[in-house]
Every structure is written in structure tokens, then in C-alpha cells.
Amino acid sequence: MSLRTLGSSADLDGQVVLLRVDANVPVDQGVITDDGRIRAFLPTLEWLVSKGAAVVVASHLGRPSGPEDTHLSLAPVARRLAELWGKAVPLINGVTGPEVWTAVDALLPGQVCMVENVRFDPRETSQDASERLELAMEWADHVDATVVDGFGVVHRKQASVYELPRLTTSYAGLLVEKEVEVLTRLTTEPERPYTVVLGGSKVSDKLGVIEALLPSVDIIVVGGGMVFTLLKAQGHPVGSSLLEENMLDTVRGFMAKAHDHGVTVVLPTDIVMAQSFSPDAGHEVLPIAALESGVHGAHAIGLDIGPESARHFAQVVRDSATVFWNGPMGVFEFDAFAHGTQVLAQALTEVTGLSVVGGGDSAAAVRALGFAESDFGHISTGGGASLEFLEGSVLPGLEILGWQR
Ligand code: ADP
Ligand code: MG
């Protein structure tokens, strides 16, 4: 691994560092409901400050159309960061411009400030490389180095992740370093049995990674909303459950390929079928063979794997030496349908080898269900980025930091 890491060569004493993080946390009416992504980059911020750097923290939040989207201001993030860190983190009102430069140029070693949501400036995500470069050049005039610690965005060609690190000295932050290290272990000679558990909402989001994993995994376990497309492809009625009709043939092809590779595909044997998609919907557990009765009766929508499936999935996970899990087993946001996800998460904590949780909602689920980060080998902060990494794609934001597969 040739990733330029902080430990290797960075001498940042007295330098102004732009720290690009992924603080894209869920915010509900100004309140952060899960601060995992802020905690995740805090060690890098502390490291930089301890080395005498002045740090400008930059992040995106959601997909604003511009600064007028004030509900996507980083104000709650700056407040939470200051609380967690125990020192002041002033938020400068702007992404670039005189107010920002005055504040940045005045920073002393060890001081930290935050700029506004980088996506308030449309050049950050522009398809036009020259526009992104223009924004990056404005930053490069005021900072000496860039540290990228937003693993969730390294798969994107965006000004703060791709153009800026080319214009200044640049390093991977501690979180990006850890992500790359752990995900590399999943792609190079993982200990066996190697099991991948997939769930969540869409097969189409995940098929690329599933295909890419076929040659290296031993077992693929599937639950969540995506399982209904697989069940339907096998001829089971799935009622009003989540279904991607146009993926049925692709899924059949995938099952055949899995068979050719000697990969065991484990599907649920029972499903929690509900009356409607709502937290208090009436529901019953039906064996797969009896889904027909639910579909034609009152319970036509599958919202979780059943208890028998959960027990079986958990056993498979516990018996594995390496486990990667992406995608909740059911609609964990509703207590009544969180059981499958709960049991699976518990099993992951009992894996003696390497257990990795990837995906925004999956990471949020394990925290919401009360598990500690330290219960798992690693919780990846990047949903799309971790999947693309496992697929074998070249991630622009890592390539720019010297990384080669
Ligand atoms: P991640 O962000 O971890 O990659 P996804 O975004 O793919 O995960 O999927 C998460 C979503 O999948 C959750 O909001 C969850 O409610 C939903 N989900 C899981 N099981 C079902 C189901 N049976 N029906 C509908 N949605 C589901
Ligand atoms: Mg998601």
C-alpha cells in the first residue's frame, strides 16, 4: 500500500491544513441523531492539532442547491464537534470568500475552524473539471496541505477530494488509512470461511459488489428488502414486498454464477409479513413455503426476516472467520421489524475473526440498536465508497493520495 499516510512523512508543524471529512450526519430539526461520523474523524483532528497544525475542517452535508438551504448548514456539526473535542470550533459563514480567508489566514497553530457545507458552492460537485479546479485553487491559495479523512466521498471526483489534494501536499487521514487497511484485508486472502451478508433496500445498488465478490467469498447470506427479488426469482409469491421486477433475470444469472463458483447462497426460511408499511402494522411470521397465504390474506408485505432465519443467519455468521455485512435485515427503523437486524448484529459481535459493517444505514442501525463501535472489528463510514472499493473500482480520492491496489 502506497497510500500517503500521516505517520509516514507528514511534517505539519505551523502549517494550515484543510481537513476534508465526511460529517454528513443525519440531522432532524437541527438535532444530530447519530454523531458516529463526527466521532470517526476526531482522532485525526486531534493528531493534527497535536502536531502544531492550524486546521480548517471542511465537509458536505446532504445535497443542498445552495447556501439558501440553511437547514443544511454545518452549524449543528460545528457545535457537536466542539462538544466532543472540548474546545471551540467556530463556523465561518462561507465556503470561500473574504470572510473565510480572513479567518483562515488568522489561524494560529493548534487552532481549528470550520467552513460551511462545501456543497453550498456548486463548483464542489461540478461535472466540469475546470470549475472544480477553480474552487480548489482558491483554497490552495490559503492552505498549505490537505488531509482527506472523508472515506464516504473518496469515490467521487469532487473539488475538495480530488482537485485540491493535487494542488497541495496531501495525506490520507487516520480514518481513511484504517478503512483502506481493513477493506484491503477483505479483498486479499481473507480468512475462511468468508461470509458476506447483504440486505437493505435495493438489489440494483448492490449487484456490482455481489458479482465482484463471488470469486472470493464462501457464503452469501441475503435478507432485507432485496431478498424479495431473489425469492420471486425462485418462484415464491412476495405480495407487496419490495421488488425490483426488472432485476429478476439478472438475479437468476447471479444465482447460477454463485453456483458455478461454489458459493453457498443462504436465503431466509421465514419472513415477518405485515399488513402495511408502518410501525404498528399487524404482522405474522410465515414460512417461505406459506407466503402464498399471507399474500392473499391480510399480511402481504415482508418487513423483516423471521426468527428461524435470524437464528440460522446468526449461526452462519458466528461460524465464519471473516464477515462483511452491508444492509439491514428488515425495516429496523420500526421496532416491530428490527429483530432480524438485532440478532444479526449481535452475531457479528461474536465473530472471533474480522467483522466489518459497511453502509450508512447499517452503521446507523447497529448504533441505534445500542451496540458499541468497539463490539465490531470495524464499522466502515463509507456506504457507496466501501462497496466500490470491494468491487475493485479505482477510487479517485484514494488514487490522488498515492494509493494503488
Ligand atoms: P446501507 O445504507 O447500509 O447500504 P441500504 O441503504 O441499502 O443500506 O438499505 C437500508 C434500508 O433498507 C433501511 O432504511 C431499511 O428500512 C430498508 N429495508 C430493509 N429491509 C426492508 C424490507 N423488507 N422492506 C423495505 N425496506 C427494507
Ligand atoms: Mg443507505
Instruction: Quote the pLDDT of residue 247.
Output: 95
Give yes or no for residue 229 CB within 6 A of ligand 1: no
Instruction: Quote the pLDDT of residue 304.
Output: 98
Burial of 144 (0-12, 13-18, 19+ CB in 10 A): middle
The reply to whether 79 belongs to the active site is no
- The Cα-based distances of 117 to 68, 214, 226, 366 in angstroms read 11, 39, 33, 27
Please say whether the beta carbons of 239 and 273 come within 8 A: yes
The reply to whether 235 belongs to the active site is no
CA of 241, closest atom in ligand 1:
24
Q: How confident is the model at residue 72 (pLDDT cuts 50, 70, 90)?
A: very high
The reply to whether 208 belongs to the active site is no
pTM of the model: 0.86
pLDDT over 90 (residue 200) = yes
The reply to whether 63 belongs to the active site is no
Residue of 39, 51, 202, 318 marked active site: 202
What is the residue type of 70?
T
Q: How confident is the model at residue 9 (pLDDT cuts 50, 70, 90)?
A: low
Average pLDDT, integer, range 188-213: 90
- Which residue, by CA, sits nearest to atom 5 of ligand 1? 200
CB proximity list for 288: less than 8 A, separation 6 or greater:
231, 236, 267, 268, 269, 270, 271
Give yes or no for residue 306 CB within 6 A of ligand 1: no
Distance separating alpha carbons of residues 242 and 353, to the nearest angstrom: 33
Please say whether the beta carbons of 206 and 358 come within 8 A: no
Instruction: Quote the pLDDT of residue 1.
Output: 52
- The Cα-based distances of 362 to 46, 82, 201, 327, 366 in angstroms read 27, 26, 11, 5, 6
Give yes or no for residue 328 CB within 6 A of ligand 1: yes
CA of 201, closest atom in ligand 1:
12
Sign, Cα dihedral of 79, 81, 82, 83 = positive
Q: Which three cell numbers stand for residue 61?
A: 452535508
Helix/strand/coil for 128: coil
Sign, Cα dihedral of 250, 256, 262, 263 = positive
